[in-house]
Amino acid sequence: MNRESVILTADIIVTSNGRILLIHRAKPPFEDKLVLPGGHVESNETMLEAAVRELHEETCLVADPRELHFLTYLDEPGRDPRPGRRVSFVFQIDLTVDDPRLEIICASDDAREIVWRNLASLSENEIGFDHFKAIRLVK
Q: In this structure, what CATH number is given to the domain that contains residue 66?
A: 3.90.79.10
Tally the domains of the chain. 1
CA distances from 90 to 24, 39, 103 (A): 18, 11, 24
Q: Work out the percent of the chain whose per-residue pLDDT is above 90.
A: 85
Taking the complete model, does pTM exceed 0.85, yes or no? yes
| Residue 4: per-residue pLDDT | 75
Say if 1 falls within a structural domain: no
**What is d(CA 64, CA 78) in angstroms, rounded to the nearest whole number?**
32
Alpha helices in the chain (DSSP H): 47-59, 131-135
Question: Domain range spanning residue 104?
Answer: 6-135
- Stretch 68-77: mean pLDDT: 97
* Average pLDDT score over residue span 12-41: 95
Domain assignment of residue 95, yes or no: yes
